Structure 1
Amino acid sequence: MRASRLLSLLLLLQTRGRMTAPEIAAELEVSVRTVYRDIEALSAAGVPVYADRGPAGGYRLLDGYRTRLNGLTAEEASSLFLAGLPGPAAELGLAEVAANAELKLLAALPPEPRSQAARMRERFLLDVPSWYRSADDVPHLTEVAEAVWDQRPLHMTYRRWGREVVDRVIHPYGLVLKGGSWYLVAAPPGGSPRTYRVARILTLETLPGRFTRPEDFELATFWAKYAKEFRERMYTAEAVIRLAPGRGDLLAYTMGADVVAAALAAAGEPDPEGWVTLTLPIESLTHARWLLLRMGTDVEVLEPPELRAMMAEAAAGLAKLYC
């Protein structure tokens, strides 16, 4: 266990450069005291680890030092092949590059990790788009990806959700693949990052020159915050419902697993008939009616009165149609 951690520490310093003890501890999920002991162990083993003092200090390897202790275990090699997504790689124009990298990795592996990695590819498949919807048509994705990589500004015309077409000059910071759809995180010159759906880009032109990417921008951090705020903006109201016994899975499929799980955790005890009263966040009355009608008689809306009236009206219309 410690040998593996020491190797991880060595590779961290080799790939990241100077790192502080707290940064190393966070990466390896150990205490700072453990980092100090591991640094001493590496030094005792002859690894040239140096400590730079001061506010900008930290630990680093001697300039030019490289270790060849970078062999992959069978499990690590398998995980790399499981993480490969040929569809998205092709959309980004990297299909041939990804295939060549996979061949080189296979050729470099010892027999056992190579065979296990091949079995992983044969037995597991990652299909990104969700059911009942196809992936977006993204004719400009390759050009966007090149601009992200080369830090080149873009001029685009973009169709908003309300069908309005706008003209924008942007600095592209990163791309995110979410549920089969590509999203571009970009900022206008001097502005704050925003999110654009790549499929809604109508025209695109790469502009001359390069922009400077903000040093404090982290794509994963931005996306996590954006996704949280998007969910909070999406739910503008609440509905109180009664749910029939044993229908939690169906409601989760209809309304979303996270939403229903939180509502069930906050719910009280079931009534004598086994029905449970839940408070659910909803996007709008119309959207909630559409979703809850799919539950049939397994759900009764209690509040708000407007939604209950809409459900009653829809039920009366169905009764009239089928009777």
Structure 2
Amino acid sequence: MRADRLVAALLFLQARGRVTAAELAAELEISERTARRDLEALIASGVPVYAQRGRGGGWRLVGGARTDLTGLTSPEVQALFLAAGSSAASPELRSALRKLLRAVPEPLRPHAEAASRARIVDDQDWSRTAVMASGPHHTALERAVLDGVRVRLGYARPGGVPHERTVDPLGLVLKAGHWYLVAGTPDGLRSFRLGRVTSADPTDEPVRRPADFDLTAAWRTLVTQLEDRLLAATVTARADQDALPVLQRLLGGRLSIGRLLEDGRREIEAAGPSVEVLAAQLAGLGARVEVVGPPQAREHLARLGRDLTARYGALQEAATHSHFPLGTYYTEDANVADIA
């Protein structure tokens, strides 16, 4: 640790120009005696530091000497502070950036400071729901990954009962606003969404890390496996032009838009985990989307139609004889009468 302290002392000298042993001791949280020994060690190692005695004295770098301990270029400095300098950074990260700023050459400091103020992270969507939420066990799992210890993990899938298992935490991944733990299990490599973790208790057992483990390659394998399950089925259909924006928001990259038909509609293909799930999603667009195949999708839509008719048909019949037809909304404010 003394080598780290000597580097910190040199950076403090470089940033301040002149320091006293008391100032260095306060900065590094050491005794004045230790601070003087560190300064003398810098001199012994060839760093051009000299001591000036008396009032206004202290320790200086000879001739205003400078040292760049980072080797960073200006674009690299900006990229680093832009990525890590947001208001959402942890206290430890902000402290590390302040220390790094002292090591950055003077001409690059304005760029670094500008980059650290150029971006913030707002982790709530427009409904004020946190989309970057990682759950209360993020820190414990991160610590387990760094310390290399196994964890007794409580985990519950949506609507399920929590189950506990012992896993080997190998890494953390942030994907689309959600954190995942990549871990070894008796069933092989698995990913666990941190928002569904109910408990994380580290053990005294060391992690069993596969030989030549690479987190990037492991995650790519897990993603491929999951995508294969999520895109196991496809449905073809014909869609009205005004339905395409809705379909794109609903399906995203799972939607393929084909040729324009003579009647003005478009051929589309949708992918999903099952034909039934896709049919239910497309049913919400009513007659604006005509499912062509496979036959199971059309059969499932017919069943949905019969179920909906049985549930709401009598209600619709009653509404047609009432003063206010079903589906029509009345309001004193005409500007909000057409709320979708």
Q: Which whole-Å deviations, capped at 9, do the CAs of 1:257-310 have from their partners, x for residues lacking one?
A: x222xx23xx3x311243211121123455435533554654332333124425
Q: 2:114 matched to which residue of 1?
A: 119
Q: Which whole-Å deviations, capped at 9, do the CAs of 1:11-57 have from their partners, x for residues lacking one?
A: xxxxxxxxxxxxxxxxxxxxxxxxxxxxxxxxxxxxxxxxxxxxxxx
- The unaligned stretches of length 5 or more in structure 1 are 1-67, 90-94
Q: 2:264 matched to which residue of 1?
A: 274
Residues in 2 aligned to 1:164 and 1:276: alpha-carbon distance in whole angstroms: 44
Instruction: State the shift of 1:213 in Å.
Output: 2.2
The number of residues matched between the two structures is: 244
In the TM superposition, 1:305-320 aligns within 5 A as 305-309=298-302, 312=305, 320=316
Residues in 2 aligned to 1:224 and 1:154: alpha-carbon distance in whole angstroms: 23
- Higher Rg of the two aligned structures: 2
Matching residue within 231, 241, 245 for 2:241: 245
Higher relative contact order (CA 8 A, sep 6+): 1
Q: 1:222 matched to which residue of 2?
A: 218
- The unaligned stretches of length 5 or more in structure 2 are 1-67, 317-325, 329-340
On the 8 A contact 2:150/2:207 being kept in 1, the answer is yes
Q: 2:91 matched to which residue of 1?
A: 96
Whether 2:292 is the aligned partner of 1:302: answer yes
In the TM superposition, 1:1-323 aligns within 5 A as 71-84=71-84, 95-127=90-122, 132=127, 133-135=129-131, 136=133, 138-161=135-158, 163-188=160-185, 192-245=188-241, 248-256=244-252, 258-260=253-255, 263-264=256-257, 267=258, 269-285=259-275, 287-293=277-283, 295=285, 298-303=288-293, 304-309=297-302, 312=305, 320=316, 321-322=326-327
Instruction: State the shift of 1:123 in Å.
Output: 3.3
Residues in 2 aligned to 1:75 and 1:298: alpha-carbon distance in whole angstroms: 51
On the 8 A contact 2:85/2:116 being kept in 1, the answer is no
On the 8 A contact 1:74/1:114 being kept in 2, the answer is no
Residues in 2 aligned to 1:129 and 1:159: alpha-carbon distance in whole angstroms: 24
| Structure 1 stretches of at least 4 aligned residues deviating more than 6 Å after TM superposition | none
On the 8 A contact 1:153/1:169 being kept in 2, the answer is yes
Secondary structure, counterpart of 1:123 in structure 2: coil
Q: 1:35 matched to which residue of 2?
A: none
On the 8 A contact 1:151/1:211 being kept in 2, the answer is yes
Range with bigger deviation, 103-112 or 215-224: 103-112
On the 8 A contact 1:302/1:308 being kept in 2, the answer is no
Residues in 2 aligned to 1:130 and 1:310: alpha-carbon distance in whole angstroms: 36
